[in-house]
């Protein structure tokens, strides 16, 4: 058993010490074996669970899930600390420096009138501090690991700042119609790669429409998926009440049940 002082209340320094103990030769075999790649997906899952706690407006769950996210941060930091590349203090220092530099209206003598100017200054300072010399670099710097709809919307927003954008939502809707027609032609051709490309273009057009309408495409897709699940469940309940099995009915009869559920929801 390793030496560790039990307390009534622990803080971030205790968390760092616990992680160091878990990674030491006498610590936990599993924790010692991990590297950035092996716990990469754990990080993603914990962040999504924290987001779900926010969506549920569950304060206690959020506290727990934020702790799990912090654990992942400390875990990754400890791996680098063992390599003597950086530690948690270095991360905190860099973050504080960034926040001070990007808030000149708070920590400097810059004056802003609203949050719009704050964001404009933030983007300008970010581009300068990251050494980005072209608008293209601001697009390519959007993480490829983001969910596709979220990344597409962010890329579109940054292209907008360079003046590359539709004039209004009506134009984006016309683009959807055009891309739909191109997809239909691709389907007729039977060329899989062409269908794949045109389908992607259609989705990207939909994301642009969402952006112009002030809608978060990722959230809209999530809500649409949840609505589908709810209506599917209601449809299955109606089918069961009639003593039938969904799979045996066929799509035409299932559509009758589906429309009944849809009409009840309106």
Specify the number of domains making up the chain.
2
| Residue 236 confidence (pLDDT) | 95
Distance of alpha carbon 153 from alpha carbon 197, whole angstroms: 18
What letters, b where the CB count within 10 A reaches 16 and e where it falls short, cover 181-197? ebbeebeeeeeeeebee
Tell me whether residue 82 is in a domain: yes
First CA to last CA across the chain, in angstroms? Answer: 63
| Residue 244 confidence (pLDDT) | 93
Q: Which domain holds residue 245?
A: 220-265
Tell me whether residue 190 is in a domain: no
pLDDT tens digits along 107-127: 998 998 899 899 888 888 888
pTM of the entire predicted model = 0.74
Tell me whether residue 65 is in a domain: yes
Q: Which of 81, 101, 121 is the last residue of a domain?
A: 101
Tell me whether residue 159 is in a domain: no
Q: What is the mean pLDDT of the chain?
A: 94
Q: Which of 74, 101, 128 is the last residue of a domain?
A: 101
Q: How confident is the model at residue 234 (pLDDT cuts 50, 70, 90)?
A: very high
Q: Which of 75, 101, 127 is the last residue of a domain?
A: 101
| Residue 65 confidence (pLDDT) | 97
pLDDT tens digits along 30-69: 999 999 999 999 999 999 999 999 999 999 999 999 999 9
pLDDT at 231 over 90: yes
Instruction: Give the CATH number for residue 51.
Output: 1.10.287.1080
Tell me whether residue 54 is in a domain: yes
């Amino acid at each position: 058993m390793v030496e560790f002082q039990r307390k009534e209340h622990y803080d971030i320094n205790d968390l760092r010490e616990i992680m160091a103990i878990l990674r030491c030769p006498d610590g936990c075999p599993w924790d010692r074996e991990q590297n950035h790649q092996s716990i990469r997906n754990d990080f993603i899952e914990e962040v999504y669970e924290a987001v779900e706690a926010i969506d549920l407006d569950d304060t206690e769950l959020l506290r727990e899930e934020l702790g799990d996210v912090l654990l992942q941060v400390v875990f990754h930091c400890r791996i680098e600390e063992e390599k003597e590349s950086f530690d948690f203090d270095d991360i905190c220092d860099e973050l504080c420096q960034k926040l001070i530099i990007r808030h000149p209206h708070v920590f400097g003598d810059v004056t802003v009138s609203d949050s719009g100017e704050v964001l404009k200054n933030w983007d300008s300072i970010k581009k300068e501090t990251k050494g980005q010399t072209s608008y293209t670099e601001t697009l390519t710097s959007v993480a490829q690991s983001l969910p596709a709809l979220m990344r597409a919307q962010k890329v579109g927003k940054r292209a907008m700042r360079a003046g590359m954008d539709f004039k209004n939502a009506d134009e984006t809707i016309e683009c959807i119609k055009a891309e739909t027609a191109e997809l239909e032609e691709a389907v007729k051709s039977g060329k899989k790669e062409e269908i794949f490309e045109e389908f992607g273009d259609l989705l990207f057009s939909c994301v642009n429409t969402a952006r112009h309408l002030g809608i978060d495409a990722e959230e809209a897709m999530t809500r649409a998926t949840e609505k589908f699940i709810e209506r599917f469940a209601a449809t299955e309940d109606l089918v069961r009440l009639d003593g039938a099995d969904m799979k045996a009915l066929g799509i035409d009869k299932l559509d009758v049940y589906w429309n009944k559920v849809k009409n009840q929801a309106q």
